[in-house]
């Protein structure tokens, strides 16, 4: 089962553009945690996100796209980064998240990723090409870096 561990750092909703993790000890602790996930064979991918003040939102109030630059005043909480893991159960995902060297202002939300088998049959029929697409998409970064090389 695949789960996303969503890192929600309190206060990141108002972080200035260009804010980056600059605490060497903390970055090292997170890297050690990432390595533990990797060594256990559960880590699929992980990323950190620049603050929302550098981002944009696209909303479709009447069906047509409207672009709004960040920060977003109405946000109570925002995503700071995520891990995607592959584990046997939700309990195992919770156990991994509990080991994270997180600070008191951080919350980790654990959400199961939808697999094709989770969808009703009629939905599966329409979405049948999606898994192939995901496989193709996953190969792209590799293909791109080869082209650059």
Partner 1 sequence: MRFMVIVHANKDSEAGVMPSTELLTAMGKFNEEMVKAGVLQAGEGLHPTSKGVRITFTGSEPTVKQGPFDVTRDLIAGFWVLDVASRDEAIAWMKRAPFAAGDEIEIRQVFAAEDFGEALTPELREQEERLRAQAAQK
Least spacing, CB of residue 101 vs partner 1, in Å: 9
Q: Is 89 in the site for partner 1 (CB under 8 A)?
A: no
Contacts 24+ apart (CB under 8 A), 23-31: 26/101, 26/103, 29/101, 30/101
CB-based contact 37:44 (threshold 8 Å): no
Q: Is 146 in the site for partner 1 (CB under 8 A)?
A: no
- Distance between CA 54 and CA 139 in Å, rounded? 28
Q: Is 28 in the site for partner 1 (CB under 8 A)?
A: yes
Q: Is 78 in the site for partner 1 (CB under 8 A)?
A: yes
Q: Is 113 in the site for partner 1 (CB under 8 A)?
A: yes
Q: Is 137 in the site for partner 1 (CB under 8 A)?
A: yes
Least spacing, CB of residue 98 vs partner 1, in Å: 4
Q: Which of 21, 40, 89, 131 binds partner 1 (CB under 8 A)?
A: 21
- Distance between CA 56 and CA 103 in Å, rounded? 27
Q: Is 36 in the site for partner 1 (CB under 8 A)?
A: no
Q: Which of 11, 40, 89, 130 binds partner 1 (CB under 8 A)?
A: 130
CB-based contact 80:71 (threshold 8 Å): no
Residue among 66, 72, 29, 68 at smallest CA distance from 52:
72
């Amino acid at each position: 089962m695949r789960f996303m561990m969503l890192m929600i750092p309190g206060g990141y909703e108002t972080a200035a553009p260009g804010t980056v993790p600059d605490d060497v000890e903390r970055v090292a602790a997170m890297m050690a945690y990432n390595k533990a996930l990797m060594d256990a064979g559960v880590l699929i991918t992980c990323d950190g996100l620049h603050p929302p003040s550098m981002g944009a939102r696209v909303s479709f109030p009447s069906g047509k796209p409207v672009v709004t630059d960040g920060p977003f005043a109405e946000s109570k909480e925002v995503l700071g980064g995520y891990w995607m893991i592959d584990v046997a159960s939700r309990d195992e995902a919770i156990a991994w998240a509990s080991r994270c060297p997180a600070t008191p202002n951080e919350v980790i939300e654990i959400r199961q990723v939808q697999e094709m088998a989770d969808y009703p049959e009629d939905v599966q029929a329409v979405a049948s090409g999606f898994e192939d697409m995901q496989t193709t998409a996953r190969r792209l970064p590799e293909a791109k870096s080869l082209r650059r090389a």
